[in-house]
């Protein structure tokens, strides 16, 4: 607990999440880090890529001499599988806390991250969100929660500004938009932001279509897309569904 209090008072970067000893005053030879992603289930492809990236980063840190502030302490990854479900992700955090990790990194999908950060907060366990873009994750006042990048509010703002620039440069050919999104927190939240903000940039949102995750047949949605015939289709879905949607189109 002393370790985690010191983390919370000093941390401003991911490196700090693994930089404090488990026992005050001690210099551990290894620091356990929970690496939590959905490596099975509907989000398995992306989750596996995230896990691989985390493992490569840990390997690089260890090869580079470990955590310098801890006398070269090595990182040890404790791998967890969120099974593409928020409840399973939260259960993995419980296991990781019992195993004595100093921090958790993960867990890709916004809905899973919302659950895992809340679970980690019970133990004041630092949780670094790697991908989850839902702004609710970092707007609940959880002092244990950090995120690598911007949320979907900022991402959507930048994307729409760039879209406006491109459209103007081309002579404003695009005027109508159709949004296709997956049903979870990421897709629904992004779609709601787009539908609310795009009219202010001069775009007419013709329709917002939600699909289940996973979805293995986009034929009906593509038929609807062709019927509406928008100038732009904006997807907000995960990799497998996006690839299938594009192939079906």
CATH number at residue 223: 3.40.50.2300
Single pTM value for the model:
0.84
Q: Both 93 and 23 in a single domain?
A: yes
Domain end, chosen from 127, 147, 167, is at 147
Rounded distance between C-alpha atoms, residue 198 and residue 206, angstroms: 11
Assigned token pair, 22? 């488990």
Strand ranges for 98-142 from DSSP E: 103-106, 127-129
Q: What is the DSSP letter of 67?
A: B
**pLDDT (tens digit per residue) in 152-191:** 999 999 999 999 999 999 999 999 999 999 999 999 999 9
Rounded distance between C-alpha atoms, residue 163 and residue 221, angstroms: 24
Mean pLDDT over the full length of the chain: 90
Q: Both 195 and 217 in a single domain?
A: yes
Residues of the chain with pLDDT > 90, as a percent, come to 88
Q: Which residues of 104-125 are buried (b: 16+ CB within 10 A; e: fewer)?
A: bbbbbbbbbbbbbbbbbbebbb
Q: Both 128 and 162 in a single domain?
A: no
29-51: average pLDDT: 96
Lowest mean pLDDT among 6-20, 66-80, 227-241: 6-20
- Is the pLDDT at 207 greater than 80, yes or no? yes
Q: Both 51 and 166 in a single domain?
A: no
Rounded distance between C-alpha atoms, residue 158 and residue 152, angstroms: 10
Q: Both 111 and 172 in a single domain?
A: no
What pLDDT was estimated at residue 163? Answer: 96
Q: Both 122 and 186 in a single domain?
A: no
What pLDDT was estimated at residue 40? Answer: 98
Rounded distance between C-alpha atoms, residue 209 and residue 42, angstroms: 20
Rounded distance between C-alpha atoms, residue 244 and residue 81, angstroms: 25
Q: Both 175 and 200 in a single domain?
A: yes
Domain end, chosen from 121, 147, 173, is at 147
43-58: average pLDDT: 97
Domain count, the chain: 2
- Residue 64: which domain range? 2-147
């Amino acid at each position: 607990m002393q370790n985690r209090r010191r983390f919370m008072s000093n941390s401003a970067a991911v490196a700090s999440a693994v930089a404090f000893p488990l026992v005050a005053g001690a210099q551990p030879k290894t620091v356990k880090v929970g690496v939590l992603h959905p490596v099975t289930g509907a989000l398995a492809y992306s989750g596996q890529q995230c896990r691989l990236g985390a493992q490569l980063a840990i390997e690089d840190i260890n090869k580079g001499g470990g955590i310098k502030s801890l006398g070269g302490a090595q990182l040890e990854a404790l791998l967890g599988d969120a099974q593409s479900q928020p409840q399973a992700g939260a259960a993995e955090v419980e296991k990781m806390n019992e195993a004595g990790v100093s921090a958790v990194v993960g867990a890709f999908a916004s809905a899973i991250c919302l659950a895992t950060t809340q679970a980690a907060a019970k133990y004041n366990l630092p949780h670094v969100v790697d991908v989850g873009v839902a702004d609710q994750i970092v707007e609940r006042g959880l002092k244990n929660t950090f995120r690598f990048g911007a949320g979907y509010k900022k991402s959507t703002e930048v994307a729409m500004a760039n879209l406006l620039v491109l459209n103007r440069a081309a002579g404003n050919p695009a005027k109508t938009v159709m949004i296709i999104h997956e049903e979870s927190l990421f897709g629904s939240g992004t779609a709601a932001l787009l539908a609310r903000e795009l009219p202010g940039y001069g775009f007419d949102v013709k329709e917002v279509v939600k699909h289940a995750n996973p979805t293995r047949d986009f034929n009906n949605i593509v038929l609807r897309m062709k019927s509406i015939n928008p100038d732009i289709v904006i997807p907000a879905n995960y990799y497998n569904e996006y690839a299938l949607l594009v192939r079906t189109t």
